[in-house]
Amino acid sequence: MTAFFHVRPSRRFIISAFVFTVFIWLFYLAVIARHNNQGHLMIPVDDGFHNVTLFNEADPMKDIKVLALRELVSERNLQAIKRLKDLSNIKVFRYVMVVQVHDRKTYIKAMLESLAGLRNIRDALVIFSHDVVDEEIDSLPFTVSKSFETVQIYFPHSLQLHPDRFPGTCPEDCPDRVGKAEATKRRCLFHDHPDTYGNYRTPRLTQVKHHWWWKVRKTFRASKSYIDDSGRRNMSLKKKFSNFPTSF
């Protein structure tokens, strides 16, 4: 330590800067390792936890933003369960309506207006399942909150939360219409397993199906656990369609 103070000031500054940089980098690696090894961000997926591998040397800030979004989604899904429990203690719903939401705000606004005009809508619980975290979209259901009760849940395996890895777009994925011969030549992921029509996975399309199955399983299990099912009707709605006042 004494020898360090005998080094010229300019060299001492360079050494100090280097040590500080190494310390910051090691701290970042420790944060990433903790998230990857201890519960993988603790995003609940029904019976376990979703395993993620997250490390982007080209843009580490992107990883941090994605981590923050995942934790936000996890927290909001826990809040949704709490809200379901609270609602079940004060009201019995005859209808549970589930809406799968992406990012088309015009469609969502039109659907909300039509829902507010339904007869007996006060007997319904409407669950909105999102695959995009967007504050403006998230706030839309509150515009009709006086007409009926709402709960919002968030698909934890969306492209937004997995931008560089499955189920999002992985750099090693085969292009969807590349053809098996070319895919085999490129040795891209799952080149031996195209679909029935010879195409490969398109993440933005498969997300819709993955979200649909997750939404159905999640909402049916939740409604069975927290909502009285005597005489209850479950309905799945598409955001593109309006509803007649007599739909019930």
Residue list, annotated binding site:
100-104, 131, 207-211
How far is it, in rounded angstroms, from Cα 180 to Cα 194? 7
Three-state secondary structure of the chain: CHHHHCCCHHHHHHHHHHHHHHHHHHHHHHHHHHHHHCCHHHCEECCEECCCCCCCCCCHHHHHHHHHHHHHHHHHHHHHHHHHHHHHHHCCCCEEEEEEECCCHHHHHHHHHHHHCCCCHHHEEEEEEECCCCHHHHHHHHHHCCCCEEEEEECCCCCCCCCCCCCCCCCCECCCCCCHHHHHHHCCECCCCCCCCCCCCCHHHHHHHHHHHHHHHHHHHHHHHHCCCCCCEEEEECCCCCCCCCCC
- At 12, list the tokens: 């001492």
- Report the distance separating Cα 85 and Cα 87, nearest Å: 6
- How far apart, in whole angstroms, are the C-alpha atoms of residue 198 and residue 177? 7
Binding site feature residues for substrate: 100-104, 131, 207-211
The answer to whether residues 203 and 219 touch, using CB atoms and an 8 Å cutoff, is no
